[in-house]
Structure formats: structure tokens, C-alpha cells
Structure 1
Amino acid sequence: MDIRAMLEDDVATLGGAPKTSTKDFVVQKITTFIATGILKVGDPLPGERELASALSVSRETVRGAILILSNHGILSVAHGLRTVVASVDVGELAIQAARYRDIAAYNLDDVHQARLLIEAQVARAAAVKMEPSTFDYLRKSIAAQEDACDDPVRFLICDREFHTAIYRSSGNAVLADLAADLYSYLLSHRKRVVSQPGTIASSIADHRTILSGLETRDQDAAAAAFAIHETRIYTTTKLLFS
């Protein structure tokens, strides 16, 4: 599956209608990062090169998406300065933005249990159905994550792309939708967690184990790796509130 197809599938799976250009899909992705709390007002966007690498698109595509969002007043662009989030009022530009806000009303323990169940099913299905091109995409995503070890926002952007690529590969739009919704839970707080020393490195190690299970088409290994990863996320998030 090429990047255009993956971007279209991401929009369609999460309840939106595909647009006509990759630039529009990147607009959707950036506004989704804002809707889910990865990016807040005043937060700088990763540089064009880093964001293009995280999303596997060209710098020109990223530049065009940023221009669209700056024209809507969502991003602030100034010569010689980092592009920053100027508004979280993304309106209809984000994919089901209200749904991401609603997920925050759930209990952390309930979300953890739900993710364990749903991601186990997703992982098992993806281990059987994932296409070779998606394996390549996931390897590139891990490389981009390693480049973002000192940048929590950029890492979370890469992290989301890694997870949603696997969810889509399950071949079940409902499960992919549910998994993506649950993934978005407390993302604004996850930034604080991944800022702690060693946290990003641990997540990347988990991702490598997940990918290994998928590459060998081992459903049990893929599901077990997802469970370990989700439990780590749950534990570190719970410590944040203790």
C-alpha cells in the first residue's frame, strides 16, 4: 500500500470522506494531532523535514498543508521562527474531533481493559493480513521515532502513525476505528510521560517487538507484544496521576 492509499484509508477508517490531494490528508492529520491534544496552543510544530519524515510525505506537501492551516488561523507562521499552534478551534477540518474529546470522559482502567481486548484482535488480524509495503512503512516509522528521541511531540506524531498503520492493516474498519479512538485517550498527558528519561526508548523497543511478531506472521507474539506495550502505557500514565 503506497502512502497516498494509506492516507486515504486513514481518513476513511476514522469516519471522514477522502479529499482530492495528499496535502488535504496532511491537513487532516495535523488537525487531528491538535484535536487529540498532541499539539496545544503555543506548541511549535516539528520542522518541515521532520514532519515530512514522520508522515512519509514530501516537504512540499507539508508546506502546503501548513499554509492552508495558517490561512484558517490554526497555525501561526513567521519568517525565521518555528510554526506554532495558534488555535485549537479546528472545526470540521479535524476527523471526528468531538469523538476524541468524548473519549476523555472514560475511566483509565476501563480504557486499559478495552485496549487490551481490541488491540489483541487487531494484532492477530494484522499479523495475517498485513502487506509487505506496510512492513516497510513501519520500519521507516521506527527510524523516524529514533530520530525523535529528544522531541516528545514529534515522537507522538510518529507513534500515532505507527499504531494507526497497524490498526488499518487488520482489515476491520470498526476495530480500527475503536482502536484509534482508544489510542487518543489522554494524549495530552502522554506528552509529559514520554518527556521522562528512557520512556521513548522503551516504547521504541516495544514497537520493534510488535513489528517482529507481525513480520513472522505470529499472531500470538504480535498480540502479546501489544499487551506488554499497552500495559506499559497504562502503568506510566497511572503513575502520572498518583
Structure 2
Amino acid sequence: MEFDAPIVRESVAEMVVRRILDMVKAGVLKAGDALPPERDLAVSLNVSRPSVREAMRGLTVLGVVRTRQGGGAYISDLGPDALLGPIQFYLSLEDMNIRELYDARSLIESDVARRAAVNISDADLDRLEALLTEQHETISDPIAFRKSDYAFHEIIWIGSNNAFLKRIGESLNVLGLEFRKRASERPGVLEQSLRDHRRLLDALRARDANAAAAAAEAHMQNVYQSTISQAED
């Protein structure tokens, strides 16, 4: 047995980051809460102001802390769009991860659809129908269509009756958003999404779990194909 691997010690700034993250996870700090001024935070934690400053920079990169114009820091809304920024940037550097991202989305979205076919309410099915009408009307407006597309999937995530799957679905959707923004400008892409959404909604209305899962998986494959085609141009 060898013990030649070095023992890695946390810096003071890393310990400050960990303390604040622990407070967020425990609910002591909530979205929108203002953090004390740098000097007060340093005194409270018994660390130097440069360590606090470094910790705040790290928490800002992570998306946990935001700064306001004119000074002051606060806990972000902790939504997936804020917290997944660094991962989204990483994905933008690695084309191969687009495939892995949509593999993950396919697995999650198909299971979400399978569960939603059993659990989604009739009222939410009617909301999905209204969103399909909206998407048909905004087929020439990619920005409006993407907004409606997110709302469509959000209702299905909620309809799965599994808060954890909903959170994962939201997060994976956000990670692919930058790719989708560009792909949605291509001819025929939104029309294909609309057809996919119709097939998925029909399966949900029929309460056919297997058909819903298959429709969601096919939709993710179509989304992937349009995304990768755009990336290769």
C-alpha cells in the first residue's frame, strides 16, 4: 500500500464557499437574501477580507451569488439557468458532449412522459392543447416558439408527479438551450417539433404510457439531429 499521494488542504476561500453553500442547502440562506458586506462577513467568519473576496468570486462563477449594480451581493434565484452556466460553457467547447446531453435528455424525457401518461390531469392536457395552438401560430417566430416549447415540456415534467425528475428535466433543457437557439432558426425544425408535440400529446390523452415514452424519445432524437446538423455547418 502506497501513501505517496499528497493530502490536499482546502484554502480559506474554499472553506468560506463551503460554509455559504451549506447555509444555502440548509435553508438558512434563501434565494434573494442579501449577504453581509465583505468586511462584516470576514469578521463573522474570522477570515481575511481577501479570502472573502475570492470566495465571492467563486460563488459568482457557480451562479450561486449575484452582485447588484452599486454594490452588494445576494443569493441568486438558484434556478437551473443560473446554476448550470459553467457546465453549459463546458458543453459549448466539446461537441461530443452534445450527443451525451441528448442521450441523457432522451432517457429522462421518455420516463417523464411514461409517468405523465398516468398522472397528468385533464386540465393540464387542455393546457398542452392550447400551447400546441400557440406553437402553430408562432411557427415563424423562433423566440416565441421556444418560450411555448419550454412551457409545454414544463407541464409534462410537472405531470410526471416526480419533483426530482422535473428538476432534472429543467436542468437538461437549460443545458441544451444555446444549441437550440441556433438550430431553431433552420427551415423545418420548428415544424418537426410541432409534429412531435402533437404525437406526444395524443399519447398522453390516450393514457398510453408506452406510446408517450416512445414519442418523447423520438422527439429528443429529432431535436438532437437538428442540433448536431446546425453545429456541423
TM-score by length of 1: 0.60
- 2:169 aligned with 1:169: no
Instruction: Give the direction of change, closer, same or farther, for the CA distance of 1:236–1:96 in structure 2 (3 Å limit).
Output: closer
Q: Give the match for residue 234 of structure 1.
A: 224
- Counterpart position of 1:61: none
Q: Separation in 2 of the partners of 1:154 and 1:94?
A: 24
Whether 1:137 aligns to 2:137 is no
1:118 aligns with 2:108: yes
Over residues 86-140 of structure 1, what are the superposed CA-to-partner deviations in whole Å (9 max), with x where a residue is unaligned?
xxxxx83572433231441341111111112111211111000000000010001
Name the SS of the counterpart of 1:241 in structure 2. Answer: helix
Whether the 8 Å contact between 2:117 and 2:209 is mirrored in structure 1 is yes
Is it true that 1:98 corresponds to 2:52 in the alignment? no
- Paired position in structure 1 for 2:52: none
User: Shift of the alpha carbon at 1:199?
Assistant: 1.3
1:218 equivalent to 2:202? Answer: no
CA apart distance, 1:234: 0.7
Question: Any stretches of 5+ residues in structure 2 without a counterpart?
Answer: 1-29, 33-67, 70-74, 92-96
Aligned residues of 1:119 and 1:179 also touching (Cα < 8 A)? yes
2:174 aligned with 1:190, yes or no?
no
Tell me how many residue pairs correspond in the alignment. 158
Structure 1 residues 96 and 227: alpha-carbon distance in aligned structure 2, compared to 1, 3 A threshold:
closer
Structure 1: runs of 5 or more not aligned: 1-16, 20-71, 74-90
User: Would the aligned equivalents of 1:134 and 1:165 in 2 still touch at CA under 8 Å?
Assistant: yes
Contact 1:120/1:227, CA 8 A, preserved across alignment: yes
* Distance change >3 Å, CA 165–CA 103, structure 1 → 2: farther
Paired residue for 1:206?
196
User: In structure 2, what residue type is equivalent to 1:184?
Assistant: V
**Residue 96 to residue 206, structure 1, CA distance change in 2 (3 Å):** closer
Larger radius of gyration: 2
> Which stretches of structure 1, 4 residues or longer, exceed 6 Å deviation after superposition?
none
Q: Which has the higher contact order (CA 8 A, sep 6+)?
A: 1
Residue type matched to 2:129 in 1? R
Contact 2:31–2:76 at 8 Å: present in 1 too?
no
